[in-house]
Each structure stands twice: as C-alpha cells, then as structure tokens.
C-alpha cells in the first residue's frame, strides 16, 4: 500500500508543479522496485509525462506515455487512475493544438 501512496504522491506533485519533488519520489521508487512492471510501464511514465507537461514539452510527454498504452483501461474496475495516461496524453495534444487527437483521448475517459 505504501508504494501506491508514493506513486500517487509523485504524480500529484508533478501536476502541482513540483517537478523536483516528483522526480525525487520517482527515482526512489525506480531504485526500490526496478523490475516492477506496472511501476515502470505505467506509473513512472505518467509521472514523467506530467513533469514534461509542466515544463511545456508536450512532445516529450506523448513520447513518455507510449509505453503505457497496453496498461490503459486494464484495471478492474476501470477507474480514473487507470486512465490517467489517457488524460495526460489528451492534455499534451491540447498543448500542441491537436484538438481532434485530444478529443479522441478524452472520449476514452
């Protein structure tokens, strides 16, 4: 349970603009669980993408989120946290003024 809190905390910090705090937690998670499939293919890319969005780099956010596609909507039940990469990708597309692609992402939610 503690790791889940750390993952969500890092994502919240990234979304709140505390990129340094998010990076610190993400680095600790990565070091603690280097073989954790969901952490490395879902949570850490989502945290990185949120940081990229804060830094006005939507292309990097979109690239970071590519690895998450197989894990999106894979939860049972499907909840907002299982769709968070979709939301972030939509935000990145909006930053790039790619409205139709953003809409397609948001419609998944």
Query: What domains does the chain contain, in order, with CATH numbers?
Result: 2-108 (1.25.40)
First to last CA, the chain: 25
pTM attached to this predicted model: 0.89
What does the alpha-carbon distance between residue 103 and residue 59 come to, in Å, rounded to a whole number?
A: 17
With pLDDT > 70 as the criterion, what percentage of the chain qualifies?
A: 89
- Phi first, then psi, for residue 76 (nearest 5°) are -135, 105
Q: What is the pLDDT of residues 49-62, one digit of tens each?
A: 999 999 999 999 99
Mean pLDDT, residues 10-30: 96
Inform me whether the pLDDT recorded for 64 exceeds 60.
Answer: yes
pLDDT score for 28: 96
């Amino acid at each position: 349970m503690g790791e889940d809190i750390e993952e969500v905390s890092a994502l919240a910090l990234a979304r709140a603009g505390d990129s340094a705090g998010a990076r610190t937690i993400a680095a600790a998670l990565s070091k603690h669980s280097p073989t954790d499939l969901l952490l490395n293919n879902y949570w850490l890319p989502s945290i990185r993408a949120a940081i990229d969005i804060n830094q006005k780099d939507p292309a990097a956010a979109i690239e970071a989120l590519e690895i998450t596609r197989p894990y999106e909507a894979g939860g049972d039940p499907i909840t907002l946290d299982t769709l968070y990469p979709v939301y972030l990708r939509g935000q990145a597309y909006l930053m790039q003024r790619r409205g139709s692609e953003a809409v397609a992402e948001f419609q998944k939610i």
